[in-house]
Amino acid sequence: MTTVLICDDRRSVREGLTRVMSAVPGVSRIDCVAHGDELLARYSRQPVDVVLVGTQRAVPTGVEATRRLVSANPQANVIVFGAPDDAGSIAAAIAGGARGYLRWDASRPELVAALAHTLASTSVPAPRQPSDPGVQLTER
């Protein structure tokens, strides 16, 4: 069974992700926090299998929360959610230690696949900084 912690400052996003995740087979517990400080405190008290962190264009809170969590807990499995055309946040989240990135409108099969892939990873690749900040990432 998989435990999930959702971090986003928008209540509607937390509630929406909770609804989606509650329908994913194998997910046994879903908790939510609104801010990075809450994320760090909750994770240190009760680690989970996967952390979902929301990002917003030009708002560094989700990326910063990811970086801080992975810095303090390198074993943390973080998947970041955000806009598909926000290459800056995507690159920063991956460089900060996120294991994956999903679009806000990811389908249930995409979510299940991302969870399975993240949980199957046994090693965390070293974060890489993109050499070109304007790099365009593919959908994959």
Residue 140: predicted pLDDT: 53
Residue 118: predicted pLDDT: 80
Residue 37 has pLDDT above 70, yes or no: yes
* Average pLDDT for the chain: 83
Residue 30: predicted pLDDT: 95
pLDDT tier at 75, thresholds 50, 70, 90: very high
Residue 49 has pLDDT above 60, yes or no: yes
Q: How far apart are CA 29 and CA 68, in angstroms?
A: 23
Q: How far apart are CA 43 and CA 45, in angstroms?
A: 5
Please, what is the end-to-end C-alpha distance for the chain in angstroms?
26
pLDDT digits (tens, 9 = 90+) for 107-127: 888 888 888 888 776 433 333
pLDDT digits (tens, 9 = 90+) for 83-109: 888 888 888 888 999 998 888 888 888
Residue 133: predicted pLDDT: 52
Mean pLDDT of 5-21: 91
User: What is the pTM assigned to this prediction?
Assistant: 0.80
Residue 76: predicted pLDDT: 94
> Contacts for 100-107 with beta carbons within 8 Å, 24 or more apart?
106/81
Contacts of 79 (CB under 8 A, 6+ apart): 50, 51, 52, 53, 98, 99, 100, 101, 102, 114, 115, 118
Domain boundary assignment for the chain: 2-120
Mean pLDDT of 48-66: 86
Q: For domain 2-120, give the fold.
A: Rossmann fold (3.40.50)
